Structure 1
Amino acid sequence: MYHPYFRGKQFELVTIRETAKMLAENNFTPIIEPVRESLAGLKKSVDAIKKANGKAVVVINPFYGDHHEDASVITDFLKSSPDTSGTIFAGIMLHSDMKIDDILKIKDQCPDHDTVFIHSGFTDPKKLSSMIDEGMSCVSNTFIEEHAKLLYRKHFNGHKRILLRDGFKRQRNADYPTLEEFSDLHVTYKELGMDGFGDFLTVGNAYSESGGPAYAVALHITFIDPSKDDVMYIYHFVSDTRDTPTDPAGKFSQALGKLIKKLNSNSSHIIETEAIKEFRLLHENGHFPGLGYIKKLSMKHHIETISVYLKASR
């Protein structure tokens, strides 16, 4: 159903571990692209998913990060824990410079794990779909929308299809508007002929090794508006101080104050998730837990918001 896409940085992996039970209970399947040299955090996240009886996709040929040139350590990691339950899938990123033979070579590296194809610029969908029709094993085809438009996706009609849309328009923290539309895929994915949907949470698909100095601090909080056909929107609560990289704690306090004011207005449509409760506690205590921790809370809130909506829609 819902397939959130995570790059395997520290707080993304922590988010997976802390939401593993919720992900499993809702039949959500996180997609994890390992980008850090150490796989210790990835192992903990996968173990948490397994313990919760959930499912996950681990990308074995990441496009970004430390394993872009040589991902053998990732395939070795999967080989070291054969997937007898069929719940940890080997994800293969399909890029514009790949040929069918490249796909087959990568696929053969993890024979004990079912395959998920992640379409991200591949240019020969007709041939690949024919090979799947002829018996090539593939659990599902996951399409990154900006790289796989309607005509491309039509080649895979009749197969399980997941559509990922990047609803997060990445920009400088100081430049975010107060409010913008995020996505309607949670409402429309079935009408588009998809079996599931996903996004890049409140982080976005754009990749950078580090965030750089925080001239402004922004809290990104999603909500679903029932008065607007259940479309998901995102608030950006941005600090007033934006002209210096110092005092992130003070800037966080400013942004958090704006979030709390909006919550207390009773007109925000933001649901009271566990993450929102923690934001309230941080405000009460005047505590700054660090920028990575804040990002984690935003992601956890986003996942729980989708969970609550889908449960109510059943």
Structure 2
Amino acid sequence: MIYFPYFRGRQYDLLALKNIAQQHILPPNIIPIIEPVRDIRALPQTVAAFVEHDQPLVVIANPTVSDYALTKQKLHDWRPYADNPQLIVGHILTPTVIPASLQPAANHRTLLVGRQYDELVAAQHAGWLNDPSYLLVPPEARIRQLITRPTVSLFDHAWLPEHERSYADITDGFFSDDWVLATLDGYHGVSDYTIGGAHYSEHGYPARAVTLHLTYFHGDQLRIHRFVSDDREDFRHPKEKFFQAVAKLAAWLPDHPDVQTPAALALADYHTSQHFPGLGVVKRLSLEHHLQTMAAYFKLHYPE
């Protein structure tokens, strides 16, 4: 079983991945995917961290969100690492993808993301789907009937509240058990957009509440607990709202020892110190916690 956590290459996503690479905790069957969205120094630095620590990583060569792909001359290019065997070059199936880009070089792996049924039908008829080492597709019955080769299911489990709803409406809930069902459905791996979700916004959006997200396992089921600030009236005072949310996390964590990863404990420490690190650091630590949680589970249940 392989797990491909899918990240859009924002600053704090990349910093979380870089820190995880330096901690060297990911087993070989957890392979993060980065779809670059910005030409920032953290991108090649993150790729370098994985390469230097002999850990596999996927970078999407033709990103489809933001305008990164339209920037011809990159100031911070990841491609100097493309020949390293630890780096898997990925492509998203689009009308502009050519077969040559899907064929792996000697001793190299490639990955293809197919998101639309009609595009997969065309690629199947053209014989393009046999070359990539890994094929990520939505877990749809018609796609399972179409493709007979081993595939990886790609699904977005994150819930984004709409309209008048907030995370306070569902503070604890189911997140995923894809790995349990994967074998039954014929998949040899699973992929998701972690707690960040598939939705991408170039500039983000304000929130009335500050919410801390922690994933944790209950048996083989991955659940998510949300610690939401009590103040949700307007968009002001993020510092005060953070302290409201982190106080709830600090009170909850001692009763859940299995959730006490280094990243979760670092978040709880901000309640003790009454220090506001900024919401970007909060996001980074939440992502690190998710990867630390998944690493521990996969090492126990799917050892390589």
- Report the TM-score range of the alignment, normalised by the length of the smaller protein: 0.7 to 0.9
TM superposition shift of 1:89? 1.9
Equivalent positions of 1:24-63 (< 5 A) are: 24-36=26-38, 38-63=39-64
Of residues 115, 124, 128, the one that matches 2:110 is: 115
Structure number with the bigger relative contact order (C-alpha 8 A, sep ≥ 6) is: 2
1:202–1:237 distance in 2 versus 1, CA, 3 Å: same
Aligned-partner residue type, residue 80 of structure 1: P
Aligned partners of 1:174 and 1:242 also within 8 Å: no
TM superposition shift of 1:217? 0.1
Q: What is aligned with 2:271?
A: 283
Q: What is aligned with 1:80?
A: 80
TM superposition shift of 1:207? 0.9
Q: What is aligned with 1:180?
A: 173
Q: What is aligned with 2:183?
A: 190
Aligned partners of 1:183 and 1:232 also within 8 Å: yes
Aligned partners of 1:174 and 1:238 also within 8 Å: no
3-state SS of the aligned residue for 2:49? helix
1:24–1:179 distance in 2 versus 1, CA, 3 Å: closer
TM-score using structure 1 length: 0.84
Aligned partners of 2:208 and 2:235 also within 8 Å: yes
C-alpha separation in 2, matches of 1:25 and 1:254: 35
- Unmatched tracts of structure 2, length 5 or more: none
3-state SS of the aligned residue for 2:89? strand
Q: What is aligned with 1:304?
A: 292
C-alpha separation in 2, matches of 1:24 and 1:52: 10
Aligned partners of 1:249 and 1:288 also within 8 Å: yes
1:14–1:106 distance in 2 versus 1, CA, 3 Å: farther
Aligned partners of 1:223 and 1:269 also within 8 Å: no
TM superposition shift of 1:7? 0.4
Identify the range of structure 1 (3-12 vs 119-128) with the bigger mean alpha-carbon deviation. 119-128
RMSD over aligned Cα, in angstroms? 2.7
Equivalent positions of 1:73-152 (< 5 A) are: 73=73, 77=77, 79-85=79-85, 87-95=86-94, 98=95, 102-104=96-98, 107=101, 114-132=109-127, 137-143=131-137, 145=138, 149-152=140-143
C-alpha separation in 2, matches of 1:189 and 1:71: 38
Please say if 1:215 is aligned against 2:203.
no
C-alpha separation in 2, matches of 1:129 and 1:269: 48
- Unmatched tracts of structure 1, length 5 or more: none
Identify the range of structure 1 (164-173 vs 231-240) with the bigger mean alpha-carbon deviation. 164-173
Aligned-partner residue type, residue 263 of structure 2: A
TM-score using structure 2 length: 0.87
TM superposition shift of 1:287? 0.9
Q: What is aligned with 1:11?
A: 12
TM superposition shift of 1:210? 2.8
TM superposition shift of 1:255? 0.5
1:75-125 per-residue CA deviation (whole Å, 9 max, x = no partner) reads x9455334142x212211124xx2xxx221672799686431101125142
Identity of aligned residues (%): 29
1:259-297 per-residue CA deviation (whole Å, 9 max, x = no partner) reads 122223x2x575210111101211110111111111111
3-state SS of the aligned residue for 2:259? coil
Q: How many pairs align?
A: 295
Of residues 233, 236, 250, the one that matches 1:243 is: 233
C-alpha separation in 2, matches of 1:13 and 1:273: 19
Aligned-partner residue type, residue 260 of structure 1: A
Q: What is aligned with 2:153?
A: 163
TM superposition shift of 1:56? 1.2
C-alpha separation in 1, matches of 2:206 and 2:82: 42
Please say if 1:66 is aligned against 2:67.
yes
TM superposition shift of 1:165? 2.0
C-alpha separation in 1, matches of 2:102 and 2:250: 51
Identify the range of structure 1 (255-264 vs 124-133) with the bigger mean alpha-carbon deviation. 124-133
